[in-house]
Chain A
Amino acid sequence: MGKTVSILTKNLKNINVDTIDDYLSAGGYEGLKKTLSLTPLEVIEIVKDSGLRGRGGAAFPTGKKWEQAARVKEDSYILCNADEGEPGTFKDRYFLEYDPYRVIEGMTIAAYAVGGREGYIYIREEYGKQKEIVLKAIDVAKAAGFLGDNILGTELCFNIKVISGAGAFICGETTALIQSIEGGGGRPKIKFKRTAESGLFGKPTLANNIESYCVVPTLFTKDAQEYLSHGTEKSKGTKVISLCGNVEYPGVYEVPFGITLREIIYEAGGGIKDGRDFKFAQIGGASGPLIPKSMLDIPYTYEDFSKEKYSIGSGAVLVADDTNSVADFMVTVQEFFVHESCGKCTPCREGNRQLLKLAHKIADKKATVEDFITVKRIANVMDKCSFCGLGTAAPTVMVTAIQHFYDMYN
């Protein structure tokens, strides 16, 4: 398996989650115990020093977010975004299903650090079975004294509720997710204040992705040293990726930052299925860039990707072999965004419709040079004027596909 590691993912498929015993014997709740011996500010300092950045896709520094939430005097809602919807991403499902106590522990540490009594896990509707597992884990943790009043005999009181989504990709966006918990359609809202000050029900809220919460307990255990020994200066630690598509061994892998895409695909993934040739990879979900063969040696880090104006997004690595057409893939992606755009703002709603038409034209080999220019123009408007990240990122595939594969259409 080459360079893959097993720190955050050490429990996945290795412990029985019906009881908490396996989790505890695997070192579970050592992190929370350690944090309770520190002050909340010390906890936040350690999270900051770890260089952890939001693992859902936006990559905002987690420690900074916690610091903002801690500055607010009132209690914060501790929100866990489990609306994993980026196509090609399934690592959060693994955490919910195979290591739910780690999610709970991470949220509890957050509650202690920023001051919170109530947590919400927003789980996408598609993960109904995982939701049941999490609900059971919450009951078990509560019965064992790890949730509820006076956790581990301290003054910390924390409870978690589980909320189900209803099948809307946009609800992964924090303000849309909050609207959904408040009982409305999940449309993004303009933020006059930071979520840390005014989020769920207008109250201070700390929102993080599952994986971000799952990293936190590790930072306070003996595994921390190993975790922090990986990665680069600007991308510390490891990333849990969802490797899928035409590879021999699709699955969830934990990789140190700095590994190359080639190593991910050919070592962890066992190479292209049935000995075929690599055509392209899409990184970070439907809104992620297409990577051609010539870029396979790009190191998987925040900084190397941002140099190319890409992002590693949710950690999806979708591999396509030479039986796939780039243009058909564009159509699939644009169909997805037309379906998932909430329709609130014009650049996203109309832009995606127009891009889909153009994608069809390209796929049908009827596109003219002007059409390619139009794609760039629309993409530019969407990037600059869309209301939320869905619209700004939606044209990425078409733009990068044209950038790398334009010759094919000439």
Chain B
Amino acid sequence: MSKNLLDVNEYEEIDNILKKHDMSKHNLVGILLDVQAISPEHYIKKEQAEYISNKLNIFLSNVYDVITFYSALSDKPKGKYVIQVCNSTCCRVMKYEKIKDAIEKELKIGIGEITSDGIFSFEYSSCFGACDISPAVRIGENVYGNLDETKIINIINDYRGGIWEKQ
């Protein structure tokens, strides 16, 4: 068990999250989502996973079972803003590929990659229920729909300009 790789604040933050979830292993999914939410890189570090498994008295493999099972949890770092483009049925019919290509061209990265400045990462997502405004992308909790090439570039530029800093 690696002890000193997290700083004191990080332990405290995890303790608070665990407390909020009644220290219950039944709330593991919620705990991991909350722990991931405090990470600017949107992932769960190995040390955090180990600490949680110790605190909840469950196997580390149980923790990783959950982290690797769910799409919303990650054990690898991502960009500050994760751009997810829906590639499910409705967005396919609405030609999401145009939006995907525009994002790739603008950010100069492909699916599954992070920009060199660490600001954006880009991935596919299964349907997130924005089919009424398809084609759609999701950046964090924000969903953008009825997109075309120009709109998505403007949105990316807004994020670059830091106007979403507070969100």
Cβ contact within 8 Å between B93 and A246: yes
A153 at the interface (CB under 8 A from B): no
CB interface residues, B 114-142, toward A, < 8 Å: 125-134, 138, 141
Is A245's beta carbon under 8 Å from chain B? yes
In the complex, what distance in Å separates the CA atom of A197 from the CA atom of B127?
33
B69: chain A residues at CB < 8 Å are 168, 185-187, 342
In the complex, whether A205 has a CB less than 8 A from a CB of chain B is no
Nearest CB in chain A to that of B64: its residue:
A185
Cβ 8 A contact of A318, one of B27, B90, B125, B128 = B90
Instruction: Flag whether B65 is at the interface (Cβ < 8 A).
Output: yes
Q: Bits for A173-185, please: 1 = Cβ < 8 Å to B, else 0.
A: 0000000111111
A245/B126 contact (C-beta < 8 A), A128-B141, A166-B72, A167-B71 known: no
Confirm or deny: A127 has a beta carbon within 8 angstroms of a beta carbon on chain B: yes
Let me know if B53 is at the binding interface, CB within 8 A.
no
Q: A185-B70, A251-B132, A339-B126 are in contact. Are A328 and B65 (CB under 8 A)?
A: no
Chain A proximity of B35: nearest CB distance (Å): 12
Docked pose: A139 CA to B62 CA in angstroms: 33
A244–B135 Cα distance when bound, in Å, is: 11
The listed residue with most B CB atoms (<10 A of its CB), out of A163, A244, A250, A282, is A244
B134 near A250 with CB under 8 A, answer yes
Asked if B89 and A336 make an inter-chain contact with CB atoms under 8 angstroms apart, the answer reads yes
A85 within 8 A of B: yes
Which residues of chain A have C-beta atoms less than 8 A from B83's C-beta? none
The smallest C-beta distance from A224 to any residue of chain B, in angstroms, reads 29
B71, B89, B128: the one within 8 Å of A332 (CB)? B89
> Which residues of chain A from 236 to 265 have a CB within 8 Å of any chain B CB?
242, 244-246, 250-252
Interface residues on A, range: 35 or more
The answer to whether A336 touches B29, judged by C-beta atoms less than 8 angstroms apart, is no
Task: Write out, one digit per residue, whether chain A residues 73-112 have a CB within 8 A of any chain B CB (1) or not (0).
Answer: 0000000000011111110110000000000000000000
Which residues of the other chain, B, contact A126 by a CB distance below 8 angstroms? 72, 125, 128-129, 138
B71 adjacent to A245 (CB under 8 Å): no
Q: Tell me whether A129 is interfacial, beta carbon within 8 Å.
A: yes
For A285, the closest partner residue in chain B by CB is B89
A265 nearest CB across to chain B (Å): 13
Q: Which of B93, B138, B141 has the most CB of A within 10 A?
A: B93
The CA of A395 and the CA of B71, in the complex, are separated in Å by 23
**Is B98 close to A, CB under 8 A?**
no
Interface residue ranges, B against A (CB under 8 Å): 24-30, 32-33, 62, 65-66, 69-73, 87-90, 92-94, 125-134, 138, 141
